Structure formats: structure tokens, C-alpha cells
Amino acid sequence: MSRLKLGMVGGGEGAFIGGVHRMAARLDGRWDLVAGAFSSDGARSRAFGQSLGLDDERCYGDWQAMATAEAARPDPIDAVAMVTPNHMHHGPARAFLKAGIAVICDKPLTTTLADALDLEAAVQRTGLPFVLTHNYSGYAMVRQMRAMVDAGVLGAVRVVQAEYAQDWLARDLSGNKQADWRSDPERAGAGGALGDIATHAYHLAAFVTGERAEAVSAETSRFVPGRRLDDDVQLRLRWASGARGQLWASQVAIGVANGLRLRIYGEKAALEWAQEEPDLLRFARLGEAPLLMRRGGPGLAPDAEAASRIPAGHPEGYLEGFAQIYADAADLIAAHKAGHSAPASLLPTVSDGVDGLRFIAACVASAAADGRWTPLNEEAR
């Protein structure tokens, strides 16, 4: 199986998520990082690329030069990974699509719904693959949940409860590079915890149930004095099927490291999964004792088995979830290059990104109207 060539925009020195993407891309041996524009400072960008062992000529001073040069090469990159702060997703992604290069983009898709819709239109025009790295959808037991819901094991879904709690922003972290851009509406968009982690929880719920929410009733808070964006979000959701639910996302939940959790309750059974114990899935049938299903164990769906790399009892988690997105993206992009039909895929797409921006916009509008029920299907706000 041939390896694909990856470029990267952003993710330079001191950037957490860039390192995660590079490790994930390497894990299954499907990608080689060969090019990058890693910083808005040209000299730092080139120096960082050289520190990664890239050829000097493919260590670019800016993303515009990179898009132009890579498109003109006889051996261009097969995809570019967009790992910048949110405000730098739209322009570079659009430029690489125009240059004929597939995009793998960190979430949320953009900072505004208008920009998200513009990228969706660009993907439709070019026909190029576009992958959004909602990495939690790559976890084996999350894919097991989706398979069980899809197979009707739970019956009609009644209640969907999602939460994503952290404590790393429970105090003022001014001067911290990662905290600063996430608290800046010019770079993060309209949502703080809302855009950073609530979108993960929402996408996870939508991915597992196969649904999208119709309306939200939201309350957002800024508990840390001086903070410009929300650090706590509490909301109710109405799902298209008639299911109801709640979502809580907080970055001021002291004592919680990365508490992403999803509970799905149907008419016949229920499922519960927590990211901090990712190999385990709690399954309860009505009137029976709950069962604990384990990644790598017996009785799992093919999609869950395919997302498992090592035997049960050897924990897998965050990097492997990201790696599954990159492995699936490699299948998708290789098929596109060969002119083959796209393989069946569980990958998040540009349309999922648009839905995420509709979610953010509806939550912001609802919170501004004291929790008024607000639909997600408006094209602009």
C-alpha cells in the first residue's frame, strides 16, 4: 500500500494539536509529512520544518506560497492538514481546494456559518475529499455504539445526554498561547468552550445516533473575570426523531481532566461511554443486569474491530482515535486519486462542519435571548 504525502498549515513550535496530528498521521504508516507552512513568521516556519527533517524547498514561509508551489510540483502533496487557530481555517482551506489539493481540517470548521457554507460550496465545486478531524468518532467503542444504534438494538432513541468537562481554564491563563487564542473572539469565533469542546460533544451525539439536532435552548456563562468568551455551556436539545436531551460543556469544572461522556437511552436498551475509560462500553437492556463491553473483546461490530489496533487490555485512546481518522482519510483520498468510487466511510465531512457552525450560532443566539428555543437550520445569523 503506497504512502500518501501530507502537508501541514500551522502546528509549529509550541502548538499542541500540530504534534498530535503528526503523530496520528504516522501511526499506521499511511502518510509521510513532506511540506509545511508552520507559522505566520516565515523564518520560524522554515526553521521548524527543517527541524522535522523536511526538504528546505518544501519548508514554506507562508501558506499562500505553499499552495501555489505544491500545486505546480510534479509530486504535490495529496492532502493538507489545517491545524491553525479557528480563524485561519477558511482562507487556507479554500486556497488548497482551489489548487486541487484535498483538505484535512481541525474542528470547528471555521469561525462563522457564512465561511462554513462557503467551504462546503468549494468542496462541492471541486469534488475533492474534505475531512474534519472530530477525532472521538475514530474510537473503537464509539463506532460500536453507532453500530448498535443503527442496528436497532436500543429501539427508538428517547434521550441523548452528552457532556464534556475540563478544568484547565478554571483560572485566568492570560499569556498562555493555547488559552489566549481560545478566549479571543477574533481567532476562536463566537464560542469559547462552546466552539472548543461543546462541538465535540454535539458531533459525538450526532455521530452515534445518526441524527442532527433541530433546535437548542442554551445558557452560556463566563465565570472567570475578564474572559471574553464563554467557559461554561448548559443547553437542551431537540432531535429530529423526537428524542430529547441535554449537553453540558465546561472548562471550569475543577478536578476534571477530559471528561467527555455520552449516554444514549432507547426504548429497549441504553449505552454509556466515557473518554477517560475509552475501551469500555456499558450496555444495559431493559430488565436485565448491565453488561460491560470491551474494545478488542468478543461480539463487536466490524467497524469497531477495524478501529482496534492492539489486544484487549492494552489501552487505546486519544492518539489512536486521531490515527483512525487519518487512516480512513488515506483510504478516501487514495480512492479519489485512483478515480475509484469513495469507500464506505465514517469520516466527518465538511457538512458535519457546517452543522457544527449552525450549532454554535444557534446556541449563541439562544443564550442572547435568555434560552429561547432556536432552530439550527437558519442559513445566516
**Where are the alpha helices (H) located in 79-236, listed in sequence order?**
90-98, 113-126, 140-150, 177-182, 185-188, 193, 199-209
Domain boundaries in the chain?
4-135+324-347, 139-314+356-368
Output the pTM of the full model: 0.95
pLDDT tens track, the chain, 381 positions: 689 999 999 999 988 999 999 999 999 999 999 999 999 999 999 999 999 999 999 999 999 999 999 999 999 999 999 999 999 999 999 999 999 999 999 999 999 999 999 999 999 999 999 999 999 999 999 999 999 999 999 999 999 999 999 999 999 999 998 999 999 999 999 999 999 999 999 999 999 999 999 999 999 999 999 999 999 999 999 999 999 999 999 999 999 999 999 999 999 999 999 999 999 999 999 999 999 999 999 999 999 999 999 999 999 999 999 999 999 999 999 999 999 988 889 999 999 999 999 999 999 999 999 999 999 985 444
The pLDDT score that the predictor gives to residue 378 is: 59
Q: What is the pLDDT of residue 381?
A: 43
Per-residue confidence (pLDDT) for residue 342, from 0 to 100: 82
Grid coordinates representing 171?
483560572
Alpha helices, DSSP H, located in the chain: 16-27, 42-51, 63-72, 90-98, 113-126, 140-150, 177-182, 185-188, 193, 199-209, 302-306, 318-338, 350-368
| 139-314+356-368 is a CATH 3.30.360.10 domain | yes
Distance CA 320, CA 166 (A): 21
The pLDDT value given to residue 213: 96
Can you name the CATH fold of 4-135+324-347? Rossmann fold (3.40.50)
pLDDT of residue 377: 81
What are 213's three cell numbers?
439536532
pLDDT of residue 48: 97
Per-residue confidence (pLDDT) for residue 343, from 0 to 100: 84
